[in-house]
Structure 1
Amino acid sequence: MSTDYQQAREALGARLRELRLSAAGGRLTGPQLAERLGWVHSKVYKLEGGRQTATGDDLRAWAKAVGQPHTAEELLARLRGFESHIRSWRRQLAAGHRPVQDTWNTAVDQATVIHAWEEAVIPGMLQTADYARHIFLRYADLHGTARDTDDAVRARMQRQAWLYQGGRKFRALVWEAALHALVCPPSVLVAQLDRLAGTIGMDTVELGIVPLGASLKVPTANGFWVLDERLVIAEDWHAELWLDDQETVGSYLRVWRTLRESAVYGADAQNVISRVRRGLHPRA
C-alpha cells in the first residue's frame, strides 16, 4: 500500500490502542478487549498495528467495548478520511504512472493466486506492450498527468514475469466487450487478441471469457483483483481502492464466482476471441 495510506492506518491503530489503555473502568489487555468483542485477540493487535483496515462496525464496537461510545464518530471520520482520499488518482498519478505500477508489482509479487475480473480492458498481466502503451496514454490525457509512458509500460511488462513462475495461478475473467473496445488502433488490438489467445493452456493461467450473449446473474460493473483471498484492488474513475477486511474480500470473491458461472473456457474461449479477431482483421 502507499506510504500515506499505511501511515493513516497506523495512526488510526495508535488511537485505538490509546482508547484500550484508557478504557472506562481501567485499562484493558488485548485479550480482554477481544473477549468483550467476541474476536480472536490477534485481530486487536492487527488493527492497532495498522496491519488490517477496520470496518465501520469494528470501530463502533471498539468504542463501545472500551466504555467510550462517544469516540465512535471520531474514529469513523478517520476511516472515511483515508479510505476516500488517500488513493485518489489525483494523488497517485502526481508523479506519473510508473510509481503506481511499481506498487502493483510489489503487491502481485507477494501473491500466489490472483482472481481478476475486467469488463472494459484486457487484464494488465496479459497485455502486450503496445496495448498497454495506449491505455496509459488514454489515462494520462484523462487525468492530465505526466506522460512517463515508456517507464510505466516497462514496469507492467516486468510484472508479467509472475506468470512464468511455478506454483502460481492467475484466474482471469474478461467480458467479451473488452475484446471489442478500440482503445487502441485495430492492428494493436489484433496483436493483443493473439496474445490473449496464446495464454489459454498455460499452466499458470485460467482464462474465462464471458460472452456478450451470456446470461448474467449479476451486472458486470467495475473491474477488480483479489490477491490470495486477502486483498482486493478495485478501480473507479476517481480512485483506486485497496480493501483487506475479510467481509469485503469475501463479497468480491462471491461476485467473481458468480460471474465465472457465465464464462466459457478452453476451446470455447478461443472461439470467442477468434470471432472478434476476424471482425477486426479487415481494418487492421
Structure 2
Amino acid sequence: MTLPGITPYDGKTLPQSKAVSATNVHEARTALGNRLRELRQLAGQTGKQLAESLSWQPSKVSKIENGKQTPSAEDIKDWTRITNSTSQATALLASLRTLETQHAEWQRILKGGIRPRQNALAELDQKTRLFRVFEATVIPGLLQTSEYARARFAESIRVFKLANDINEAVEARLKRQDIFYRSDKRFHFVLTEAALRFRLCSPEVMLGQLDRLMSLSALPNVKLGIIGFETQYTASPWHGFWLYDDDKVLVETFSAGLNLAQPQEIALYATVFEELASVASYGRSARGIINRVIADLSPDDAEA
C-alpha cells in the first residue's frame, strides 16, 4: 500500500514528503469532516444555516468539513442534534477519540504538568524491548543529564505557560533512565553533530551532557551513532522520531505529539532509521566527534 503523496520506496530512493508523519492524522480528520458534511446535506441544510443554528462562524463549519479543524466532542454532539442524526453521535465520537490519540496536542497533554507526561512515557518504556531513536537537534530524553533536562523543561514551561513542576519532571526523567540497566532492553540512538552543538543550554551544562553520552555509549545494550557534519546523507534528517519495537512511532512537533501505529508508517520510519544509521559513526569514531565538540566548548587553558 502506498501512502498518499509519498513516492514508493524502491530500495534506492527514499520518500520525499516532509508531511509523511502527519498523513494518517490528516486522513482521519478529513474522513470525520466528510461524514459530518454528509449528515448536514442529508438534513437539507447549508453550511451557513448550520452555523447560524449553532451560533458559530460559517468558517468553522467549512474548516471542520474540509479537515482543517478538529471538532470537539461538544461540537459533534451539537452537530448531530441540529441535523437530527443523534444516532450517529457515538460512532463519530469514537472517531474523534482515535484522532485525538494520534494527534495529541501539547496544551492538552501537559495541562496537568510535565511530570505526568514523563510517567506515561515510563509506562511505554516498560513495554518496549527495542528503542530506535533519531534526533537532529536535541539530546534524547533518556540520555539527558538533570541539568540538560531542566533546561528543556524550562523551555516548555515558558512556551506553553505551564505550572512549574520542573523538579518533579526532572526526577521522573532521570528515573526513566534506570531502564538502561535491564538486560532485556536494547537501544540504538542516532544523533547529528548539530544536536551536540546547538546552544540549548550553557556550555558548562553541555559539557556535562557530552560526558554523559560518552558514559552511556559504553553500556553493552546501547548503540550510539553520530552523523558528523562532513557526512553525505542518503536520507534527509527532516525531524526526530522514536520507534518503539515495531509497534509505534512517536514524532514530536511544536504543537503536538504524533502517535503513528499503521504498519506502513512503522515500516517507512524503520527504513528511514536504517538509512540514517548506516551513515553514522560508531565506537571510536563517534567518540572522536564528541571529543571534537568538547574541545570546541572547553575553555582554552593554554591562554588562561
- Common fold: TM-score over 0.5: yes
Deviations 1:126-160 (A, max 9, x none): 11011100110012111111121111111111110
What's the counterpart of residue 253 of structure 1? 270
Residue 136 (structure 2) pairs with residue 136 (structure 1)? no
- Secondary structure of the residue aligned to 2:299 is helix
| Identical pairs, percent | 34
Contact 1:186–1:283 (CA<8 Å) still a contact in 2? no
**Using the alignment, how far apart are the partners of 2:146 and 2:267 within structure 1?**
33
How far off its partner does 1:219 sit?
Answer: 1.5
Residue 113 of structure 2 corresponds to 96
The answer on 1:163 being equivalent to 2:176 is no
- Which among 155, 171, 181 is matched to residue 154 of structure 1? 171
Q: 1:211 to 1:86 in 2, by over 3 A?
A: closer
Q: For residues 77 and 212 of structure 1, what CA distance do their matches in structure 2 show?
A: 46
Report if the CA contact (8 A) 2:187-2:223 is conserved.
Answer: yes
Aligned-partner residue type, residue 296 of structure 2:
G
Q: Distance in 2 between matches of 1:283 and 1:236?
A: 37
2:122 aligned partner = 105
Does 2:207 align with 1:186? Answer: no
Summarize the alignment of residues 1-284 of structure 1 with structure 2, pairs less than 5 Å apart.
78=95, 82-83=99-100, 87-282=104-299
Distance (whole Å) between structure 2 residues aligned to residue 156 and residue 186 of structure 1: 22
Task: Return 5+ residue gaps in structure 1 as ranges.
Answer: 1-11, 13-70
Corresponding residue of 1:63: none
Q: Can you give the 5+ residue segments of structure 2 that lack an aligned partner in the other structure?
A: 1-31, 33-87
Distance apart, 1:84 and its partner CA: 7.9
* Structure 1 residue 265: Cα displacement: 0.1
Distance 1:283 1:250, change over 3 A: farther
Q: CA deviation at 1:200?
A: 2.0
Given that 2:216 and 2:222 are in contact with CA atoms closer than 8 Å, whether structure 1 keeps it comes out as yes
The residue that corresponds to 2:66 in the other structure is none
SS in 1 for 2:110: helix
TM-score computed with the length of structure 2 as normaliser: 0.66
Runs of 4+ in 1 over 3 A off after TM superposition: 74-77, 83-86
| Count of residue pairs the alignment pairs up | 213
Quick one: distance in 2 between partners of 1:145 and 1:154? 17
Cα RMSD of the aligned pairs, angstroms, is 2.3
Shift of 1:263: 0.2
Amino acid at match of 1:152: A
Deviation at 1:77, TM superposition (A): 10
Matched residue SS, 1:218: coil
Deviations 1:153-194 (A, max 9, x none): 111111101100112111000111010011111100000000
Which residue identity does 2:263 align to in structure 1? Q
- The amino acid across from 2:124 in the alignment is A
How far does residue 242 in structure 1 lie from its aligned partner after superposition? 1.3
- Given that residues 101 and 259 in structure 2 are in contact (C-alpha distance below 8 angstroms), is that contact kept between their aligned partners in structure 1? no
AA matched with 1:240: G
